[in-house]
Amino acid sequence: MSAGSQGTPANTGRLAARVGGHVHGLSRCVGVGVGTCLAALLAILPAGCETPPSGAAAPAESRRLKVGDLAAPQTQPLPSQVSLQVIVFEAPADKAAAVGEMFDVLRADPIFFADRATLEANDIRVRFGTQRDWPDLAKKLDEADAKQAYLHTLIHFDDRGLDLADLPLWETGTLSYLRADGSTASVELEPGRLVWSTTAQPVEPLRGVADVVFRYVHRRQKDITAARLARQDRVQERAFDFSVLSTKMSRGDFILMGPTAYHDADRQGLLDSAFMVPRSSGGVLRLYMVLCTKVGL
C-alpha cells in the first residue's frame, strides 16, 4: 500500500454509496427487473438531441425576443466531462454459480490490471463489455435472479476522484487480504473510510474516448476533517496498489465488478467482504456495473 497525495473532494459527507445498508445520495430502485433496467439504458444511449422539423412552426412565445438573447456569448469553454452510471445489482447467495457465469460472457483483455492475480485471489472479478454484450449479460443476470438495488451517477469534470462506494471505519483495526500466492497480508487502518474511487478524463485527441481508473483507497478521518477545516477540495489518501485498474471507455461500454462465491463470515478477504458480500444484507452477492454514458461536452 502506498501513500498518495491526490484525493477526492473533501465534502465526503455527500457520499456516492455506503455499503451495509447505509445508503446516501442514491435513488433506491429495489426489485427492478434486469430486462427493464438494460432496456431503458439501451433506449437512452443511442438517443441524441432531436431537432424539430424545419417546417414546423415555433410557438409564438418562443419567437419573442428575450433578454438572454442580448447577452454576450460565453467566451470560456465548458469543461469536458465523463459521465458514469453506476448500477448495483444484488443476487441471492445460492445463485453464486450463475453469478460466476456472468463474467464468462465478458472480457478482461481491454483492462489494465496492476495485480490481477491478487484481486482474483480475493474473489474479485472485473470484466469489460460493450452494448453488444448486454443481451448475453441480461440473460445471465436473470438466471442469477439479480435485482437492481441502487443507481447513481458520477460526473467527472477534472482529475479528482469520485466515490463509487465507501465503507466507514469507526475504530482502528486490522484488515487482511490474500496475496496471489495464497499467503495473507495484514494492514493496520485508522478510523476513516474505505473507498472504491474512480477518476475519468477524456483521451486527447481521441473523440468520445475516456481513460477511467478504479482504485481502492483508505482515507483517515483526521485527514478528512483537516481538509474540511482548511476548505481544501482534496483529501490525502492511501491506495492499495494491487487494486488499481484502468481501461478506455466510450459511450455504451461498461465494467462489471463482483464476486463469484459467498464466503463464510470468518473469511478476512479485504475487498469482497467489505463491498461485494455484505453481511448485513441477508446473504446476497453485490455486483457493480459502471456504464459510460457520456464523454465530452
pLDDT in tens, 170-193: 888 877 788 888 888 888 888 988
Contact present, 211 and 200 (Cβ < 8 Å): yes
SS3 of 134, please? helix
Mean pLDDT computed over every residue of the chain: 76
Q: Is the pLDDT of residue 3 over 50?
A: no
Residues 6+ apart with CB under 8 A from 269: 122, 123, 176, 177, 178, 263
pLDDT at 143: 94
CA distance 259 to 274: 11
Alpha helices in 250-296 (DSSP H): 270-271
CA distance 27 to 204: 33
Q: pLDDT, tens digit, for every residue of 26-70?
A: 333 444 555 556 655 555 554 433 444 444 444 544 445 454 455
Nine-digit cell string for 216: 481502492
Q: Shortest CA distance to 193 belongs to which of 5, 21, 6, 7?
A: 7
Nine-digit cell string for 59: 410557438
If you search the block for the grid coordinates 438494460, which residue do you land on?
38
pLDDT at 269: 47
Nine-digit cell string for 256: 462489471
pLDDT at 165: 83
SS3 of 279, please? helix
pLDDT at 55: 44
Tell me the range of 15-19, 53-57, 290-294 where mean pLDDT is highest: 290-294
Contact present, 199 and 160 (Cβ < 8 Å): yes
pLDDT at 111: 97
Neighbours of 73 (CB within 10 A): 4
Nine-digit cell string for 194: 474505505
